[in-house]
């Protein structure tokens, strides 16, 4: 009993002390608060606010720069929508119908009348199918049998479209549009490859001849409509750029889809190697990429070595990052059909600028074996091709050989080469090439190619799609992969079983290491 009383006494004392400390702290924090309870003269509780000096007199910093919002908008449109006619790139032209046939026929659409789809596409909705149009091009190649024409690249959710449509040509300094019926829908696909179904958006090249009396004029833009006098919901600038002198080689790369894979160093090495080989410019199309890939692309774009065009999928196809990637993985034929848009856009944008157009993936390199550049290679190849048949070919194809990742691992790394330079490190390849005309890549002749597929032209001007096979002693398509393509899985074992050391790339070793090191700094 005598022990319990002191304990209770101490417990009470500690409790009282804790409550006192809590009260003191509460009063302290209340005093610091801008809101204090006070008793006014009437005995009621009132609220007052302690305000720091200058609290109401200081204005938060905001952007007060004066901006002409409409001018800024037009400037951004010019940058992001190169397919728009120049007439829209000023305030007056953007809002007004500049000219038309008459009050009820074929009014020139204002910028706000256009139907856009997924940013970069313009649309036409007909009674039998939907068109999503990407770009339009002026074609005056000598071998074209239809004469001066405008070709429109787009996708239509119909196979073998039967709907009759018309082009409305808009010429500068002309008050009225010029009408012409669409001549053809050129299918950029073979039905045996699959996806040959109504309702799926298919790639097409649409052709409209320019009437005889306008052969010496270049249309400023073109609209596609169902009926001649329809008010158009699309208006594409007709692209035409013919320099005084052609350059040698343009490389085209399909829509990059590397959102979660950082391949920036491999991309950097690949760009530097292609520049050493003689690529004048590399044209990239970009879907979704890792931030480090964007840095690499920006670096080379600033130096004039690459051109980067953002890209979306048309129609109801997904463009949300991540989801788009999974869609393209699961829907292989949809992916392949969508790839034909950037490939053919790249061809037609550069129709008159380059001697050769080369379609490559970023794990592929056309490697000359006896010389050091593509230009020297073609100087050797052309006489051989002409000796067989005296005609200019539509393409010159190079056979594929695999440099598989695991062919190196059994041999170890090369110590005098940075490990991160993938192609310089991987110099063991399969002894056997893939069969002739399978998985090849080409130097395409833009004077002859009408529509392109990844490996071959699908249609050509002149005497068909003639292609010369470059001998494997002159050049090879070096394909750097972890594994063979899916269609070669069964035969991939034999490619692995027989491998050989091939150090052809090492003739660029010093320059490639030096240039990549500079770029990475």
Q: Tell me what pLDDT residue 35 has.
A: 42
Name the pLDDT band for 101 (thresholds 50, 70, 90): low
Dihedrals phi, psi of 258, to nearest 5 degrees:
-135, 60
SS3 of residue 81 by DSSP: coil
Beta-carbon neighbour count of residue 363 at 10 Å? 16
Q: Which residue has the higher pLDDT, 35 or 515?
A: 515
What are the strands, taking DSSP E only, across 103-156? 105-107, 116-117, 121-126, 129-139, 149-156
Cβ–Cβ < 8 Å for 237, 84: yes
Residue 74 confidence (pLDDT): 81
CATH architecture of structural domain 81-239 = Sandwich (2.60)
User: What is the DSSP-derived secondary structure letter of residue 242?
Assistant: -
Looking at residue 39, its pLDDT comes to 45
- Both tokens of 434, joined, read 């893939």
What is residue 43's predicted lDDT score, i.e. its pLDDT?
47
Q: What is the pLDDT of residues 402-452, one digit of tens each?
A: 999 887 666 678 999 999 999 999 999 999 999 999 999 999 999 999 999
Q: What is the pLDDT of residue 506?
A: 98
Asked if pLDDT for residue 55 goes beyond 70, the answer is: no
In angstroms, the CA 214 to CA 194 distance is: 40
Give CA angle at 93 (90, 98), nearest 5°. Answer: 160
Place of tokens 């990059």: 256
pLDDT tens figures, 189-198: 999 999 999 9
**Spatial distance between the Cα atoms of 204 and 187, rounded to a whole number of angstroms:** 5
For residues 146 and 90, which has the higher predicted lDDT (pLDDT)? 146
Give the tokens for residue 309: 């065009």
First to last CA, the chain: 82
Among residues 497, 492, 460, 220, the alpha carbon closest in space to that of 357 is found at 460
Q: How far is CA 269 from CA 277, 322, 343, 346, 375, in A?
A: 12, 26, 22, 22, 21
pLDDT at residue 33 above 70?
no
Cβ atoms within 10 Å of 134's Cβ, excluding its own: 20
Nearest Cα neighbor of 377 from 351, 398, 354, 362 is: 398
Query: Are the C-beta atoms of residues 409 and 422 closer than 8 Å to each other?
Result: no
Task: State yes or no: pLDDT of 29 exceeds 80.
Answer: no
Cα-trace Rg, the chain:
33
pLDDT of residue 179: 96
Architecture of domain 247-520: Alpha-Beta Complex (3.90)
447's tokens:
């004077």
- Burial of 56 from C-beta contacts in 10 A (0-12 / 13-18 / 19+): exposed
Q: Look at residue 335 in the predicted model and tell me its pLDDT.
A: 97
Looking at the DSSP assignment, which residues form a beta bridge with residue 274?
A: none
* Cβ(240)–Cβ(182) below 8 Å: no
- Provide the residue ranges of all domains of the chain, joining segments of one domain with +: 81-239, 247-520
> pLDDT tens across 278-320, in order?
999 999 999 999 999 999 999 999 999 999 999 999 999 999 9
Using CA atoms, how far apart are residues 113 and 95, in angstroms rounded to an integer? Answer: 9
Q: Provide φ and ψ at 393, rounded to 5°.
A: -80, 155
3-state secondary structure of 147: coil
pLDDT on residue 69: 79
Name the token pair of 242: 């013919």
> Pseudo-torsion of CA 112, 72, 91, 137, nearest 10°?
-60
């Amino acid at each position: 009993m005598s022990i319990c009383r002191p304990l209770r006494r101490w417990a009470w004392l500690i409790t009282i002390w804790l409550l006192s400390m809590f009260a003191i702290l509460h009063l302290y924090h209340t005093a610091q608060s801008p809101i204090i309870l006070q008793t006014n003269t009437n005995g009621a509780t009132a609220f007052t606010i302690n305000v720091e000096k200058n609290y109401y007199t200081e204005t938060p910093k905001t952007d007060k720069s004066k901006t002409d919002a409409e001018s800024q908008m037009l400037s951004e449109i010019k940058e992001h929508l190169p397919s728009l006619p120049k007439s829209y790139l000023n305030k007056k032209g953007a809002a007004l119908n500049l000219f038309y046939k008459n009050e009820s026929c074929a009014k020139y659409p204002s910028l706000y009348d256009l139907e856009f789809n997924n940013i970069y596409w313009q649309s036409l909705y007909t009674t039998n199918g939907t068109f999503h149009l990407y770009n339009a091009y002026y074609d005056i190649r000598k071998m074209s049998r239809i004469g001066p024409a405008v070709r429109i690249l787009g996708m239509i959710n119909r196979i073998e479209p039967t709907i009759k449509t018309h082009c409305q040509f808009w010429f500068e300094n002309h008050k009225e549009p010029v009408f012409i019926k669409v001549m053809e829908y050129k299918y950029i696909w073979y039905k045996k490859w699959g996806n040959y179904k109504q309702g799926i958006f298919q790639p097409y090249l649409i052709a409209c001849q320019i009437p005889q009396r306008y052969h010496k004029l270049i249309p400023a833009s073109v609209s596609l409509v169902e009926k001649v006098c329809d008010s158009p919901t699309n208006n594409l600038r007709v692209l035409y750029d013919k320099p005084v002198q052609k350059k040698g080689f343009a490389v085209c790369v399909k829509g990059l889809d590397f959102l979660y894979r950082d391949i920036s160093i491999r991309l950097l090495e690949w760009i530097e190697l292609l520049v050493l080989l003689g690529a004048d410019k590399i044209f990239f199309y970009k879907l979704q990429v890792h931030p480090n890939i964007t840095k690499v692309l920006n670096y080379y774009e600033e130096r004039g070595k690459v051109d980067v065009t953002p890209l979306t999928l048309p129609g109801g196809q997904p463009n949300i990052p991540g989801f788009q990637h999974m869609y393209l993985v699961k829907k292989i034929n949809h992916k392949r059909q969508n790839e034909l848009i950037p490939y053919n856009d790249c061809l037609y944008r550069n129709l008159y600028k380059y001697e050769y157009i080369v379609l490559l993936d970023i794990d592929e390199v056309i490697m000359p074996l006896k010389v050091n550049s593509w230009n020297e290679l073609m100087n050797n190849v052309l006489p051989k091709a002409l000796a067989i048949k005296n005609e200019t070919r539509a393409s010159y194809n190079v056979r594929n050989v695999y440099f598989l990742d695991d062919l190196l691992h059994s041999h170890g790394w090369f110590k005098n080469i940075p490990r991160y330079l993938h192609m310089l490190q991987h110099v063991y390849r399969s002894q056997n090439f893939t069969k002739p005309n399978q998985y090849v890549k080409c130097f395409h002749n833009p004077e002859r190619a009408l529509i392109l597929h990844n490996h071959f032209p699908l249609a050509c001007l002149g005497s068909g799609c003639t292609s010369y096979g470059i001998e494997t002693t002159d050049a090879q398509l070096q394909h750097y992969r972890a594994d063979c393509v899916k269609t070669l899985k069964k035969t991939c074992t034999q490619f692995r079983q027989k491998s050989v050391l091939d150090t052809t790339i090492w003739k660029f070793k010093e320059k490639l290491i030096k240039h990549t090191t500079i770029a990475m700094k």
